[in-house]
Amino acid sequence: MSDMPIVHGFDPPERFVAGTVGEPGSRTFFLQARSGPRIVSVALEKQQVAALAERVDELLDEVMASDSTEGLVPAVAPVALEDRAPLEQPIEEEFRAGTMTLSWDPDDERVVIEVFPFVEAAVVGPDQVDDEADEPEPDEMMLVRLEPGTARAFVKRTEQVLEAGRPSCPFCGIPVDPDGHLCVRANGFKRRDPA
């Protein structure tokens, strides 16, 4: 087998979205990219997709604030690029996301997102210094290059997907199930959904 990883590249994708499968409380989150008939779905944790959307938004704000890109980055998601459709079928997980990188390509004027698979060997043990961990080369990765408007639309949709889950406890921030939860900030008293 070759040492080169399989790159699921989309430059640009026809569609790049975050979405879920399942009911709130037991949802599985996916990043999904499509170009023509080719669809790639990568599973990830809710916190990962939230962090990605937040960082993409911050990156776009930084680029928008620079003098050299005036008018290139929209302040809000263009209405024409909004995407409310469900994830495309079939949803076949290519891999589970581990490390993700985010950058701005000034030459191409695009947001670049790289998603690498989670690798158990890359987890640092309690008695191991972070520098000692040898992160193995990935077998595959997802590489997506987004135009600024599409990236803003990705952020907006991702925020809507995240908000569609269980409401957060106003005291501790932990998601509240319909039957309540034991709230640490309320000394273990059971709290119900405040809605």
What's 80's domain CATH number?
Answer: 3.30.2450
* Residues 115 and 143 grouped into a single domain: yes
Residue 84: the pLDDT is 93
Task: Work out the angle at residue 89's Cα, subtended by the Cα atoms of residues 43 and 119, and round it to the nearest 5 degrees.
Answer: 20
* Residues 93 and 181 grouped into a single domain: no
3-state secondary structure of 148: helix
Decide if 1 is inside a domain.
Answer: no
Q: How many CA atoms lie within 13 A of 94 on its CB side?
A: 23
* Residues 159 and 171 grouped into a single domain: no
Average of per-residue pLDDT values in the chain: 87
Is the peptide bond prior to 90 cis by the omega test (within 30 degrees of 0)?
A: yes
* Residues 141 and 180 grouped into a single domain: no
Residue 1: the pLDDT is 47
> How many domains are contained in the chain?
2
User: What range does the domain containing 75 cover?
Assistant: 6-164
Decide if 71 is inside a domain.
Answer: yes
pLDDT for residue 131 is more than 60: no
- When pLDDT is cut at 50, 70 and 90, the band that residue 138 belongs to is confident
Q: What is the pTM of this model?
A: 0.81
pLDDT for residue 189 is more than 70: no
Q: Once rounded to an integer, what is the mean pLDDT over residues 131-148?
A: 82
